[in-house]
Amino acid sequence: MLRSSASLVLSCLLLASCQKETEVERANRDKILLIGNGNDPKALDPHLVTGVPESKVIGAIFEGLVGDDPASDTAYPPGAATSWSHNADYTSWTFNLRPGARWSDNMAPVVAQDFVFAYHRLLHPDLAGPYAEMLYFLKNAEDYNKNHRSIILARAGLIPGVSEVQAKTFNLEGLPDKTIKDDLGKSPKWLELSEPNRRRMVLNKGLDALDRPALNWILESPETRFDWPADSLPEQRRSLLTSLASKAADPTASPAIEAEDLFEIAKVGASASDDYTLQIELREPVPYLPGVTRHYTWFPVPRHVVLQWGKISDRFTPWSEARYIVGNGPFKMKSWKLNDSVEVVKNPIYWDAPNVKLNGLKFYPIENYYSETRAFLAGQLHTTYQVPPDLVDRIKKEYPQYLRQEPYVSTSFVRFNVTKPGLNNVKVRQALSLAINRKDICETILEGFSPAGTITPAMGDYKPEQLAVYDLEKAKSLMAEAGYPDGKDFPKLSVLIRSGGSQAVSEAMQSMWKKIGVTVDIRKMDFGSYISAQQALNFDIAIAGWTGDYLDPTTFLLMWTEGNGNNNTGWHSEKFESLLHDAALQTDPAQRLSMFAQAEKLLMEEAPIAPFAFQARNYLHRPEVKGWHPLLLDNHPYSAVRIEP
């Protein structure tokens, strides 16, 4: 049935391709690359996005310290930096920036301070950047981003009598109080609260989250209005409260006083020793840092434009709109027509502009891969995002000159919201994972993909044991052990997928889970809403995917730590995070990878996710597009691409 449908689709595609002059032919003359990009970007601000469609556009208009090589994932050509060096243990790096590089509006040079500003902005606690964890390699970055104000001040010696170690023993992040919102409301007014409820609120929030009025209220009677470690001294308590209050916000003042930004006090490991020298200090050895800096979270942003439209921590200001955005890359923004295209043109003041052969790029947000394939065969695209799996065999036979099948560091997985009834039981999650017939899905639906038993694909010397397997009888047994024999009394759930995503995969899992008594319906959303729903934990189960940002296991493992903007499961584990922390400090490469394997095993046992397929790149690409080579990370530098009809 699938094959006959595919034949019908391809017949229609053939008819659609008969035109006098196609879009591709016109674009070939004009040297404009036409790209299928899957979806509209959620935004163009590098600090507020996490998706692949956004990364493709951002990678065209911005440039990081290190460039992408057109033919190798492990080569590191110069980018905004011309050279770099490091100390013996890879914890201290110096990047020498390119003199003469300028922002695309030609209003300012690209300098080291722009990089420091970008890292400061992404890490700013008020910005709530969803990908801030990518900068946690920087020394003290995590404490600054998580607003650990007491620890920052103690480390800087600004809390007399209290060391950093002692500060960590206080209630800084709050104690859980499940009924406080029901009892006091979502936004209780401080002045209207009774003394007992004020005490309840400050204990629930923790000292680091309190504003000046609350801290001063505790200062009036520290012993009765807050709970303290038994071994802390009265003078230490007052010293901590006084220091915190001096830096805290005061919404009751006229005008209101904002909390002091502690970036400088925190001594986050990024500084500019001069306009063209960027110093990077890391919390752990990172020998693969040049590869990490190619990710857009490490790109600079234009201070002069960002601050023109608001404060450093303001979200979604006009600076990143198509008409105002300024970059330092080989292309600059021309237009963004929602649901139509994003268009960029060659940046004439880019440092390597004479060697950029394309005059522009057009990114088309075609969510439906059948429609995208139709557009390609009709001469409307040079390259596509993905070929529908059920069309791969037929395309291979009839259009072999266009089909590209390439390895890809990417994994498809099921994400469970562990805060939901039923899914908060680890045995249920394990059962759902065991009920997935990964081999069947890859052989009958996902052509070219291979069964995944871990979240991390093999890379280099890291070859994790495939732990997630298919075992229907064990899945049934676990459901019974969890208190749901044959699914009895188990709540009905929904599976979230994105528009244009694989309906067939979700339907296959729907059928597989029915065999253990679990009933699910399928909930489809546009890409932006799909991402937002997961970030807000407004889902039960989601079909998701993750593509590596660099070639190291941490790109797949760090995202499952507490508070990570890409976790979106409600799950975390101190043991898991401890293993990752210890691995980061390992100087023995084999021991480091062994600890990653232990962490991965724990992740599979806890099952907040269920990996099911290692992806491959199946896409269509026109032969006249040159300088485009297979890359594991799929980061093609558009500056090296050319069109030769």
Q: Distances in Å between the alpha carbon of 414 and those of 331, 368, 432, 547?
A: 36, 21, 10, 14
Q: Distances in Å between the alpha carbon of 190 and those of 185, 229, 243, 246, 443?
A: 12, 25, 21, 19, 60
Closest to 126 (Cα-Cα) out of 142, 147, 141: 147
- The whole-number pLDDT of residue 8 equals 44
How far, rounded to the nearest angstrom, does the alpha carbon of residue 598 sit from its chain's CA centroid?
23
Structure tokens at 126: 């008020």
Give the Cα separation of 306 and 311 in Å (integer). 8
- CATH 3.40.190.10 placement within the chain: 2-64+307-384+621-643
pLDDT, tens digit, for every residue of 363-417?
999 999 999 999 999 999 999 999 998 899 999 999 999 999 999 999 999 999 9
- The whole-number pLDDT of residue 209 equals 96
Query: How many CB atoms are closer than 10 A to CB 203?
Result: 17
Domain 405-619, classified CATH 3.10.105.10, yes or no: yes
pTM, to two decimals: 0.90
What does pLDDT average to in each consecutive run of 10 residues of the chain (645 residues)?
42 53 96 96 95 95 98 96 97 97 98 98 96 97 97 98 96 88 84 93 95 97 96 96 98 95 98 98 96 98 98 97 97 96 98 98 95 97 94 94 95 98 98 98 92 95 94 97 96 92 90 97 92 95 95 95 93 96 90 96 98 96 97 96 96
What HEC string does 436-478 produce?
CCHHHHHHHCCCCCEECCCCCCCECCECCCCCCCCCHHHHHHH
- CATH 3.10.105.10 placement within the chain: 405-619
CATH of 2-64+307-384+621-643, one of 1.20.1530.20, 3.40.190.10, 2.60.120.1140, 3.30.565.10: 3.40.190.10
Beta carbons of 75 and 637 less than 8 angstroms apart:
no
Q: Is 497 exposed, middle or buried (0-12, 13-18, 19+ CB in 10 A)?
A: buried
Q: Over the range 124-151, which residues count as b (16 or more CB within 10 Å of their CB) and which as e?
A: bbebebbbbbbbbbbbbbbbbbbbbbbb
